[in-house]
Amino acid sequence: MIELVIKNGKVVFPSDTIETSIAIDQGKIVAIGSSSIMPRGVKSLDAEGKFVLPGCIDPHVHVRDVFMGATANDDFFLASKATSLGGTTTIIDFAIQKKACLPIDAVQERRAEADGEVVIDYSLHPSITDLTPETIDQFKELIDLGLPSFKLFLVYRKDGLMVDDGTLLKVFEETKAHGGLVGLHAENVAIIDYLRDEALRKGHRKAIYHAYTRPPITEAEAVNRAIFLANHLNAPYYNFHLTIKEGVEMFREERKRGRPMYAETCTHYLVKTIEDLKGSKGINFICNPPLRQEEDQKALWKGLADGTVSVVSSDQVAFTAEMKKLGEDSFDMVPNGVPGHEFRLPILFSEGVRKKRININRLSEITSTNAAKIFGLYPKKGIINVGSDADIVIFDPNLKKTITTEDSLYSMDWYPYEGMTVKGYPVITISKGKIIWENGEFQGKKGDGEFLRRTISQDLLRTPVV
C-alpha cells in the first residue's frame, strides 16, 4: 500500500486546474488520476472543495539576519516552521561573504546554522562582497556545489556589503562562464547616500524620509544599469525586490526582446504603500527599496498578471518593533526589513485571485513554479507531477483569518499585515510526502529539511524560461 492519497482536490497545474487525486509514496508523487483508479493509501486526505497546489518556494528570506545592530527574532527551525504553516516548502536564504574571508566560508557557516534545524528543504544564494582573486577562483566551485545563483548588493556601503560596477561586471562574466545567475539588490548608492546626508543635515529624521531619500530614480537607474551590463555580456539577470513602475516597464521591454531577465517583487510592495511610513509606527515599515505609491503597486500587479514579473518572494526579516526602535530618533538607524513570510500565499490569494488580478494558476507560478525553474529546482520542486517531490499545500479558499501577532510562532510583536483579514488559507502542508501542518497542528520534525543542490538550466542563460 502506498503512503498517502489526496482525493478529489482541485489540483493546480501550470495551465489547468483539474479535480483529481494524487498518490504519494516515499516522498514523491507516484500517480495522478481519478480517485476510482488510485491505489489504496495508508492515509487518505479528502480535499474536496480545496485547492491542491505545489508547495511554495520562497527564494528570498533572511533567517536570523544580523544587521544594523539587530539580530532577527528567528532561527532556521522557527522560520522554516512558520513559513511552512503558510504553505512554503522550500526557502532560499543567503550566505554573505565576510570581508577577507571566502564565499565558501560563509556557505559553511550558514549550513552549520541550518542543517539539522530546518523542517523543510532549503538552499542558499552566495553573496559576494569582496572580489579578491581567491574569490573569483571560487565561482566554479560554488556553482558545482549546487549554489549557482548569487546576490550582490549595490547598496549598504557603510555596512560593508556594497560592490562596485567593476566587481559586478566580473561577477556577471564568471557566473555566465560557469552556468550561474546573478541577482542584484539594485539601488543607486551614491544618490541615496547624498540625499540621506542632506536630509539629516536639515534635521529630517522621521521614517518617511527613508522613502524620500530613496526616490524611484535611485532604483530605476540601478535596475537600468544592471540590465545594461547584463546585456553587454549577454548574461541572464534576476532582480531581487523590484518595486517601481519604471522597472516593470524595463523588464517588459527586455522580455519582449527575448532576453533572460527575471523580476521579483515581494508581498509587502503589493499591499503596503509609502503612506505606511507616515504613521506612528512608520519606522517598522522601513525596508529597502522602500514602500512606494499605489501606481507602482498597480504596475507590479499588472506585471505579475502579464508575465513581466516572475516571482513574489517575502524578503523576510524578523526584526521586531522593539528592534526597530534602534532608529526611533533617526530613520537611517532603523534595521531594515519586514517579517510575515507565513502570510505570503494567503495574502496573494486574497489580494490577487479573489480580486481577479491573477488566476490560481498564475498564483502557483509566481509563488512556486517560476522560482523552481529560475533557480534550478525544477521539476523536483515547483510542480505537481509524477516523479516530483511531494511538496504540496492544501488550501481552503473559504477559510477566513485576521492576521495578528497573537499566534506568531516566533513571538513577533508586529506584522506589516496586522489587522488584515484574508479569505483563503492553507490547511495542510506536506513536505516530501509527510504532513507537517494539519489544521494548525505542527507535525513536522526539526532536521527533516535538507540542503538542496541546484543546477540552473542552460536554456535560462539564453532565453526566458518563465
Burial degree of 159 (CB within 10 A; 0-12, 13-18, 19+) = exposed
Of 397, 396, 403, whose CA–CA distance to 427 is shortest? 396
Asked if 185 is part of the footprint of ligand URP (rule: CB under 6 A), the reply reads: yes
- Which segment (83-91, 310-318, 358-366, 401-409) binds Zn ion by CB under 5 A? 310-318
* Closer residue to ligand URP (CB): 23 or 155: 155
Of 244, 317, 348, 366, which lies in the binding site for ligand URP, with binding defined by CB under 6 A?
Answer: 317
Strands in 128-239 per DSSP E: 149-153, 181-185, 237-239
> Shortest Cβ distance from residue 339 to Zn ion (Å)?
12
Asked if 332 is part of the footprint of Zn ion (rule: CB under 5 A), the reply reads: no
* Distance from the first to the final alpha carbon of the chain: 37
Of 337, 340, 346, 382, which lies in the binding site for ligand URP, with binding defined by CB under 6 A?
Answer: 337
> Shortest Cβ distance from residue 290 to Zn ion (Å)?
12
Q: Give the x-and-dash track for 48-67 against ligand URP (CB under 6 A).
A: --------------x-----
Burial degree of 347 (CB within 10 A; 0-12, 13-18, 19+) = buried
DSSP classification of residue 212: H
Asked if 185 is part of the footprint of Zn ion (rule: CB under 5 A), the reply reads: yes
* Closer residue to Zn ion (CB): 174 or 315: 315
Q: What is the C-alpha to C-alpha distance for residues 161 and 152, in angstroms, rounded to an integer?
A: 8
Of 288, 313, 388, 429, which lies in the binding site for ligand URP, with binding defined by CB under 6 A?
Answer: 288
90 neighbors 58 (Cβ within 8 angstroms): yes
* Closer residue to ligand URP (CB): 127 or 388: 127
Asked if 143 is part of the footprint of ligand URP (rule: CB under 6 A), the reply reads: no
Q: Does 339 sit behind a cis peptide bond, omega within 30 degrees of 0 on the bond before it?
A: no
**Alpha helix stretches (DSSP H) within 63-164:** 76-85, 103-114, 133-144
Could you tell which of ligand URP, Zn ion, none binds residue 268, using a CB distance below 5 to 8 A set by kind?
none
Could you tell which of Zn ion, ligand URP, none binds residue 336, using a CB distance below 5 to 8 A set by kind?
ligand URP
Of 123, 161, 135, 152, whose CA–CA distance to 235 is shortest? 152
Residue nearest to Zn ion (CB): 185
Of 174, 315, 351, 365, which lies in the binding site for Zn ion, with binding defined by CB under 5 A?
Answer: 315
Q: What is the C-alpha to C-alpha distance for residues 266 and 340, in angstroms, rounded to an integer?
A: 11
SS3 state at 412: coil
Residue nearest to ligand URP (CB): 337
> Shortest Cβ distance from residue 184 to Zn ion (Å)?
8
The three cell numbers locating residue 61:
528570506
The three cell numbers locating residue 326:
534602534
Give the β-pairing of 2-12 and 17-25: antiparallel
Asked if 315 is part of the footprint of ligand URP (rule: CB under 6 A), the reply reads: yes
Could you tell which of Zn ion, ligand URP, none binds residue 287, using a CB distance below 5 to 8 A set by kind?
ligand URP
Interface with ligand URP (CB under 6 A): 62, 185, 287-288, 315, 317, 336-337
Residues that bind Zn ion (CB under 5 A): 185, 315
